[in-house]
């Protein structure tokens, strides 16, 4: 069994992706984990601490995923497809990108979390730029920004329409131009 601290984080991640970081309370976490709210405070002193842990773990997970793709998948186009498939999977669970959600909630998060979020998106773009570079794009950083923007926006629309193909259609044309 995974330890409580991790279970809390897993649950908070899920809830953030569906209802937003301000859309759940320590009571929701406690009820689901099966402990009291005060015990959640034991693991994460404040909700701001929880937010930071959430974003930092997420960035590490992203980096690990990139490393795995770099090692296991030879073709950059296939790597991109694999990443998009991952994000598309959120739609079926009525979720969106956790960091996209937090970026929307920008005004109610601490400076530390804002910095962590910005780092997440920069890491994301850097990796994307490498893939586009390998694919021979003339301006990899520019296309990487366009890709992330389109991805994040498409997740909002896809969930609204209940149609994951919105993501594919929004990203169509980035690889084969």
Judged by the rule CB under 8 A, the positions of this chain that interact with its own copies are: 18-20, 22-23, 94, 96, 100-101, 103-108, 114, 117-118, 121, 142, 145-146, 148-154, 156-157, 159-161, 166, 169-170, 172-173
With respect to DNA, which residue has the nearer C-beta, 10 or 78?
10
In contact, 136 and 81? CB cutoff 8 Å? no
Q: What is the DSSP string of 78-119?
A: HHHHHHHHHHHHHHHTT---HHHHHHHTGGGS-HHHHHHHHH
The continuous run of DSSP H or E covering 59 comes out as helix 47-72
Select the binding partner of residue 28 from its own copies, DNA, none (C-beta < 5 to 8 A, by kind). Answer: DNA
Select the binding partner of residue 43 from its own copies, DNA, none (C-beta < 5 to 8 A, by kind). Answer: DNA
Chain residues binding DNA by CB under 7 A are 3-5, 24-28, 34-39, 41-43, 45-48
User: Burial level of 111, CB count in 10 A (0-12/13-18/19+)?
Assistant: exposed
Select the binding partner of residue 35 from DNA, its own copies, none (C-beta < 5 to 8 A, by kind). Answer: DNA
**Structure tokens given for 163:** 């149609």
With respect to its own copies, which residue has the nearer C-beta, 80 or 101?
101
Least distance CB 16 / DNA (angstroms): 12
Select the binding partner of residue 71 from DNA, its own copies, none (C-beta < 5 to 8 A, by kind). Answer: none
**25: Cβ contacts below 8 Å, ≥ 6 apart:** 37
């Amino acid at each position: 069994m995974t330890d409580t601290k991790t279970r809390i984080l897993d649950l908070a991640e899920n809830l953030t992706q569906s209802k937003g970081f301000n859309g759940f309370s320590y009571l929701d976490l406690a009820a689901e984990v099966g402990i009291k709210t005060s015990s959640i405070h034991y693991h994460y002193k404040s909700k701001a601490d929880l937010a930071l842990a959430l974003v930092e773990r997420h960035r590490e997970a992203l980096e690990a995923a990139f490393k795995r793709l770099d090692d296991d998948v030879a073709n950059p186009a296939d790597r991109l497809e694999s990443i998009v498939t991952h994000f598309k999977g959120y739609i079926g669970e009525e979720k969106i990108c956790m960091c996209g959600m937090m970026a929307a909630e920008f005004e109610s998060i601490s400076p530390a979390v804002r910095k962590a979020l910005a780092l997440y998106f920069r890491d994301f773009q850097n990796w994307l730029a490498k893939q586009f570079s390998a694919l021979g794009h003339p301006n990899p950083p520019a296309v990487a920004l366009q890709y992330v923007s389109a991805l994040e926006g498409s997740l909002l629309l896809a969930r609204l329409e209940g149609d994951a193909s919105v993501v594919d259609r929004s990203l169509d044309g980035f690889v084969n131009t």
